[in-house]
Amino acid sequence: MANEGAKAATSDRRPAEGRRTPRGTPKGRQVEPAALAAVRALLGTAPRRRDLLIEHLHRINDAEGRLSLRMLAALAAEMSLSYAEVYEVATFYAHFEIAGDDAPPALPVLRICDGVACMIAGAEAKLAHARRALDGLAKVEPAPCIGACDHAPAVANGFRRLAGEPTVVSPAQLRADAPAATPPVEPAGAGAQWQGCRRGERTPEQVFAVLDESGLRGLGGAGFPTGRKWRLVAEQPGPRLMAVNADEGEPGTFKDRWFLEAEPHRVLEGALIAAWATGCEAIYFYVRDEYPEAREILAATVEAWRRDGRLGDIRVELRRGAGAYVCGEESAMLESLEGKRGLPRHKPPFPAQRGLFGRPTLINNVETLWWIPALLAKGGAWFASQGRRGGKGLRAFSLSGRVARPGVKIAPAGITVRELVDEHGGGMLPGHRFKAYLPGGASGGILPAAMGDLPLDFGKLEPHGCFVGSGAVVVFSDRDDLRAIARNLVRFFEHESCGQCTPCRVGTEKAGGLIAGQTWDAPLLGELAKAMADASICGLGQAAMNPVLSLMRHFPEELS
């Protein structure tokens, strides 16, 4: 007892300044009442669900031109999330600009695409010119492919594509709110096949049979048979969901943008038929942030069909990407739809087994769904009879580069690049001689003009180290530097790597350094490519070296 009293006396004599003072607030960034009120006003009556985090970040970013730290903290509090959860998502996506609380007001942003099609059309000079002309008046920055390769070099106010030279754009024009895009007039009979399904004129099994007969395959790049995919999902225990991948970020690809802007009703009809046939209760459209017009047109179309009851019992939701090419990979897209960073998942399980919110999920590309109404109206045999050289069906090619008439071209599967250019592209540009081409966008490899008679179809180009993918065909001429093109493509993959796996994150950076000089170490590049292909989690890292490998394989004279 005496000792305890002595200890107490000693404690009482401790200097006041040495005592620990309790914190008046929790650790970490504090929520400012004004910021919380601003967040609540921007979100309005929208649900505060975790899967809507990216949508809510967009609301703040659109309103303020950036994401301040105080607003991130307020959003985290409003959604009952940790600040770290919100911050890690906001910093993952390229289109969210994080700024300090005392940062100056945001400038309008002019984006000039430096993707491969825009690069060969003079994007670098246009970028330098715009920076000089708009110095201090706007933020001028390069952008990865914005899906406007047929208008190269493409320029966007924010993400709305501009026509003409950026030097004639005033800051006032850049700051002005653009009117919402107007949906096209629906033709007579739009939605007829979907309404027939609702009335019981077909069964799901009959729809599957038409798909099997047609030979329709996934046209986002993988080429998996559509009928087989739909059956796999339908066989899974419910409840089931559907996701539409409209996040085409492959440099050279812009077909889905064309479908959504020109015929959104047909894409929506195909999606509704798919959801009905496979028993999916809801459809989630994941649309590229670079496609604001397409997103607005699709939203207006969905709302019009909802008002007049044409959606039936199927719920349709639109979600907006935020600038991550990797979210074109199906499992990364699912992560983003759940409001998370777009990190690809390990497989198995596959999305058809456990996808969005852990439910069996049907995932289809925009073009695949666009074909569904025509298949049901005309029959599977009609579609299957359209190909050339053993190919089945028709498909949309995104044609760009040194051709007279770039654009979306509906052509038979199995057509050659020479036929595509001559029959649909108006031939080469005057003064340009056909030298090489990308048959399947940035990841599809590079082939020489001597191989211009190969069929553009699934399984036909793989023996040559290339593939047709989503049908993004970029044509090069004798005026183009193929080394520079390969560097551009590898730089794109380095920029877009999600960073989850070391082979891709480090490999793309190392590849960029190895091909920067005039002398390329072919054995070392081959070893690096094999390690990336074998060990990367998703297709980005697995295919990132295809441009380099095909250049070494088919163009040795370019490297000598």
Look at residues 348, 378, 408 and tell me which one is the last residue of a structural domain: 378
| Domain contains 419 | yes
- Tell me the CATH number at 413: 3.10.20.600
Nearest CA-CA partner of 238 in 363, 361, 337: 361
Nearest CA-CA partner of 264 in 208, 234, 229, 303: 303
Q: Residues 213, 339: one domain?
A: yes
Q: Is the peptide bond before 22 cis (omega within 30 degrees of 0)?
A: no
pLDDT at 7: 47
Nearest CA-CA partner of 389 in 272, 449, 468: 468
| Domain contains 170 | no
Measured from the Cβ of residue 365, the count of other Cβ atoms closer than 10 Å reads 25
Name the one residue in this structure whose structure tokens are 């074998």.
534
Can you read off the two tokens belonging to residue 287?
Answer: 């649309």
- Tell me the CATH number at 90: 1.10.10.1590
Q: Which residues pair with 286 in a beta bridge?
A: 245, 319
Helix runs in 453-538, H state only: 482-496, 502-514, 522-535
pLDDT at 152: 94
Answer yes or no: are the C-beta atoms of 95 and 323 closer than 8 Å. yes
- What is 402-457 written as a DSSP string? SBSS-EEEEEETT-BHHHIIIIIS-SBPTT--EEEEESSSGGG--EEGGGTTSB-S
Residue 481 DSSP code? -
| Domain contains 184 | no
Q: Residues 448, 464: one domain?
A: yes
Q: Residues 236, 332: one domain?
A: yes
Q: Residues 212, 199: one domain?
A: yes
Whole-angstrom distance, CA of residue 29 vs CA of residue 235: 48
Residue 200 DSSP code? T
Answer yes or no: are the C-beta atoms of 501 and 537 closer than 8 Å. yes
Q: Residues 283, 404: one domain?
A: no
Instruction: Give the C-alpha distances (Å, rounded to integers) separating 248 from 113, 158, 336.
Output: 15, 18, 15
Q: Residues 416, 367: one domain?
A: no
Q: Residues 225, 342: one domain?
A: yes
Nearest CA-CA partner of 540 in 249, 229, 120: 249
Look at residues 119, 139, 162 and tell me which one is the last residue of a structural domain: 162
- Contacts of residue 120, Cβ cutoff 8 Å, sequence gap at least 6: 152, 401, 402, 476, 480, 485
Whole-angstrom distance, CA of residue 560 vs CA of residue 520: 9
Whole-angstrom distance, CA of residue 109 vs CA of residue 105: 12
Answer yes or no: are the C-beta atoms of 75 and 86 closer than 8 Å. yes
- What is 341-402 written as a DSSP string? --PPPPSSSPTTTS-GGGS-EEEEEHHHHHHHHHHHHH-HHHHHTT-STT--SEEEEEEEES
Q: What would the pLDDT profile of 120-141 be if each residue is shown by its tens digit?
A: 999 999 999 989 988 888 899 9
| Domain contains 172 | no
Please count the CA atoms within 13 angstroms of the CA of 548 that sit on its side-chain side.
Answer: 33
Residue 445: left if φ>0, alpha if ψ -120 to 50, beta else—which one? Answer: left
Residue 465 DSSP code? T
| Domain contains 387 | no
Q: Residues 207, 293: one domain?
A: yes
- Tell me the CATH number at 155: 3.40.30.10
| Domain contains 328 | yes
Q: Residues 219, 326: one domain?
A: yes
Q: Residues 275, 364: one domain?
A: yes
With a cut of 70, list the residues of the chain below it in pLDDT.
1-19, 21-26, 164-171, 175-176
Q: Is the peptide bond before 349 cis (omega within 30 degrees of 0)?
A: yes
- Tell me the CATH number at 501: 1.20.1440.230
pLDDT at 180: 82
Whole-angstrom distance, CA of residue 67 vs CA of residue 64: 7
pLDDT at 244: 98
Long-range contacts of 52-55 (CB under 8 A, 24+ apart): 52/339, 53/79, 53/81, 53/85, 53/86, 53/89, 53/339, 53/340, 54/89, 54/93, 54/319, 54/320, 54/322, 54/336, 54/339, 55/319, 55/320, 55/339
Q: Residues 231, 298: one domain?
A: yes
Range of 117's domain? 109-162
Tally of domains in the chain: 5
Can you read off the two tokens belonging to residue 279?
Answer: 């028993």
- Tell me the CATH number at 259: 3.40.50.11540
Name the one residue in this structure whose structure tokens are 């007039």.
185
Look at residues 439, 457, 477 and tell me which one is the last residue of a structural domain: 477
Name the one residue in this structure whose structure tokens are 């493409």.
154
To the question of pTM greater than 0.75 for the whole model, the response is yes
| Domain contains 373 | yes
pLDDT at 123: 95
Can you read off the two tokens belonging to residue 556?
Answer: 């040795």
Q: Residues 351, 250: one domain?
A: yes
Q: Is the peptide bond before 239 cis (omega within 30 degrees of 0)?
A: yes
Measured from the Cβ of residue 165, the count of other Cβ atoms closer than 10 Å reads 12
| Domain contains 168 | no
Q: What would the pLDDT profile of 467-495 be if each residue is shown by its tens digit?
A: 999 999 999 999 999 999 999 999 999 99
